[in-house]
Structure 1
Amino acid sequence: MVENLAQVALLLDPGDTVAIARRLIPAGTRLRLDGREVVVRQEIPPGHKLALRSVAVGEAVFRYGQRIGQASQPIDAGDWVHSHNLDVGEIDRCTGWHVVPPLPVEPTASTFLGFRRADGQVGTRNLIIIIATVNCAASVVARIAAHFTPERLAEFPNVDGVVAVTHSSGCSVAPDSLSLLYLRRALKNLAHNPNIGAALYVGLGCEVNAVEGCMPSFSPEEMGRLAGPGLVIQEAGGFRRTVQAGIAAVERILPEVNRSIREPVPLSGLKIALQCGGSDSWSGVTANPLMGRVADRVVREGGTVVLAETSEIFGAERLLLERVASDKAGARLVERLTWWLDYARRNGFSIDNNPTPGNKAGGLTTIYEKSLGAVAKGGTTPLVEVYEYAEKIAAPGLVFMDTPGNDPVSVTGQLAGGCNLILFSTGRGSVYGSGLAPCIKVASNSALVQRMAEDMDFDAGRVLAGESWEDAENALFERVIGVASGQRTASENDAPRVHEFVPWQPEPFL
């Protein structure tokens, strides 16, 4: 029996040399494509690549109509194409760019229910955060936050929670290091995130990253967002007394934070962190392009979407550099890509080390293949600005933040930049969530939703089942508006998130 290729595999572009298996394809399966027959030579797992024609060693392999690497072994039509016969070859990159005009903002009358802040930003949540400036203060901070149970917060219905912000650094780092710069910037700018109603900083007293080095600067109208001048454990009298002082500081600020109420605000108040983690071969086919369509829609409304994970755009950077809104943005992105290649060389690893074992089990082979799917999250609008890690994001539109590909580290930078909501695609299954912004988990395939139903918020696999892209886009967009207005996500219904704020530490501890 000969089956049509489209019944068992997905051809993404007419020029592709591979198709993506919709289901397990047994060896010996005979497939019809354009009047010719392809016999499957090895079993093809779901989401993996099936060769449609022969490819010689060193010849390019195409997916999405783009080069994803080269044959490292001879590939025959019908072969399973993966790590055993495909590699990235030399890591090359774009160094030029093309400036295009920014697209006009065309806001509709749509709104969401958010918390207006004095600086003009809008929160999707109203939180009080207790920030440890050093790991040595982590237990004190956690104890302070734990005191404010849902029962104790019941009389403050407009406060969404008291959250501990802890990390594993703050001391034993060089005073002039990137690690300390990124840590301080992340902790300082986090208090400016519009989801934060008030912040309290807690340090030990002898650390490199002292409280005074982290305190943010607020305008007189915003000074109420600091719950005091900060606490130092060694000066406050130790663990128990600092916990008591922290609880008292939060109790004093709670009535003020509770005065903020949700009100209708324009969609330009959205500042969305775009993320993918635990990706599979379907992530770049369903979830990421769907998120890209929503991202374009948010930009048209005057909002902001933040693409990140610099190590996951190699091989796809051209798709961004072809549409920068200024020479500054193009030069900044090229500069960051150059830094990452040098960083990889100095530390003895390859950018192609990025695809994880799980990514590869899900059908991804090279960094080029992973990047081409990942960049789809950014949609099609011009790239207007490039930010360093944890910098405050001011420009509306599609922007890029330089971060590693590690999800918690990357999201931490975006949250410090001011993102008030996270759109996070996954194909293998990720349980990442943040206590600082709602995280909408978008599954790339319906099997994942069935397997991890309690952790997923949206099934992008519906487009593989025949639903139109327009209907799926509308459904995800409505989910974004609902969550921004207060609907809880799957990760918010779980235990408090206290270990997923992870500032980037590119240098070793002393």
Structure 2
Amino acid sequence: MSTYHFHDIARFPESGDHVAIVTQRVEAGTEVIDTAGHSFLLSHTLLEGHRFAVRTIHKGDAVQSWGLPFGVAIEDISPGDYICNVEILEALRLRNLDFALPETPNLEDRMIPYHLDETAFTPGEQITITDTPLTFMGYPRGSSRGVGTRNYIILLSTTSQTAGFVKRLETHLMGRADQYEHIDGIVAVAHTEGGGLDEPNNRELLLRTLAGFMVHPNAGAVLAVDYGTETITNEILRAYMMEHGYPLNDVRHHFMTLEDAFDKELNRAAQLIEGWLDTVNGSLHEVTSAEHLNIVLQCGGSDAFSGISGNPLAAWVVREIIRSGGSANLAETDELIGAESYVLKNVRDIDTAR
């Protein structure tokens, strides 16, 4: 039987949690000495990233990790017990494992609706702006487009019908910008929308997204490609942008409609892009305050370690950006489900909390 001290094999996302995450495979029967000097045995072999209990949890009690309840015990749980629900066991039973699994789960996912108690609300401590903001090498795009961190030439398919064309154009131009110090690449932006015969039900969202790509500060130039016969065309996109005040004229761009043979149009587009290279490479590149940065936080395929490594690091980076006058967005609101109480601990006022 092996014996380990807790921190040799496991981590707490938050002190006071009921369960811990193993940082390596640990065999059944392993003795674990916790931070208080008490010891217990692991009930089953645990794979890296899986959890075990560090205290007694009674049937019906919430099981806590990251300082938040993430399920309910459906039987009494003892220190060292493997924490698993039905889905975990079903997934692991499909694998050719060399160890035994629990016969039954001991955890049930149970979402408890959150209710904001406005009478008990307390504003959180806000970040103080620093007198010495961080800086980065940026590409100023004028007051209406902000500052880019990169300088790309974008090949934009206005609908899914031209997605193949812009991807082929990207391949055709691969390496063409390598000799230019201030061009980060020539990239295709292809998607699956707007290519049907009927008006898309997400028309507004699609146009708004395409318009955002056109004027994004990381865009040094944009080629938008259509056939002119789709339900969303370049002309519709142009009109939408002008109607809604997008600074289209502040970015080098061209709306291209495909009318000839594929190879001829490919060469025509390539010649247009090559004619932009010197100008795009000449974009001003200078030291810029981090107040111009906006960090977007989005789930990238979370695992058990996200909450103890990647997410805290991302939060620290965002905090420093905000201290420098920048900003950040939580891009996926469904990622907040179940974490409402945590997020609302530090909002600035009741209106934000609502």
TM bucket normalised to smaller: 0.7 to 0.9
Per-residue CA deviations over 1:461-489 (Å, capped at 9, x if unaligned) read xxxxxxxxxxxxxxxxxxxxxxxxxxxxx
Aligned to 2:90: none
Matched-pair contact (CA < 8 Å) for 1:56–1:74 = yes
The question of 1:15 aligning with 2:23 is answered no
2 CA distance for matches of 1:279 and 1:169?
A: 27
Matched-pair contact (CA < 8 Å) for 1:232–1:242 = no
2 CA distance for matches of 1:111 and 1:165?
A: 29
In the TM superposition, 1:306-317 aligns within 5 A as 306-317=329-340
Aligned to 1:225: 251
Aligned-pair CA distance for 1:296: 0.4
Greater mean deviation of Cα atoms: 274-283 or 31-40: 31-40
Aligned to 2:98: none
Greater mean deviation of Cα atoms: 212-221 or 154-163: 212-221
In the TM superposition, 1:10-409 aligns within 5 A as 10-33=11-34, 34=36, 36-83=38-85, 84-95=105-116, 98=121, 99-100=123-124, 102-108=126-132, 110-119=134-143, 121-150=146-175, 152-153=176-177, 156-172=180-196, 175=199, 177=201, 179-215=202-238, 216-217=241-242, 223=249, 225-228=251-254, 230-233=255-258, 236-331=259-354
Which structure 2 segments of 5+ residues have no match? 86-104
- The number of equivalent residue pairs is 326
2 CA distance for matches of 1:135 and 1:180?
A: 13
Structure showing greater radius of gyration is 2
* Paired residue secondary structure (1:214): helix
2 CA distance for matches of 1:136 and 1:40?
A: 56
What is the CA RMSD across the aligned residues, in angstroms?
Answer: 2.8
Matched-pair contact (CA < 8 Å) for 2:318–2:328 = yes
2 CA distance for matches of 1:3 and 1:184?
A: 57
**2:79 corresponds to which letter in structure 1?**
A
Matched-pair contact (CA < 8 Å) for 2:12–2:21 = yes
**2:149 corresponds to which letter in structure 1?**
T
Per-residue CA deviations over 1:298-333 (Å, capped at 9, x if unaligned) read 1101112222222222111222223333555434xx
Change (3 A) 1:67 1:154: closer
* Paired residue secondary structure (1:322): helix
Aligned to 1:500: none
* Paired residue secondary structure (1:273): strand
**1:135 corresponds to which letter in structure 2?**
S
1 CA distance for matches of 2:198 and 2:106?
A: 44
Change (3 A) 1:95 1:248: farther
Aligned-pair CA distance for 1:289: 0.7
Greater mean deviation of Cα atoms: 248-257 or 291-300: 248-257
**2:150 corresponds to which letter in structure 1?**
R
Change (3 A) 1:329 1:184: farther
Per-residue CA deviations over 1:390-435 (Å, capped at 9, x if unaligned) read xxxxxxxxxxxxxxxxxxxxxxxxxxxxxxxxxxxxxxxxxxxxxx
Aligned-pair CA distance for 1:115: 0.9
Change (3 A) 1:35 1:214: same
1 CA distance for matches of 2:289 and 2:282?
A: 21
Percent identity, aligned pairs only? 30
* Paired residue secondary structure (1:227): strand
Q: So what's the TM-score if we normalise by structure 2?
A: 0.81
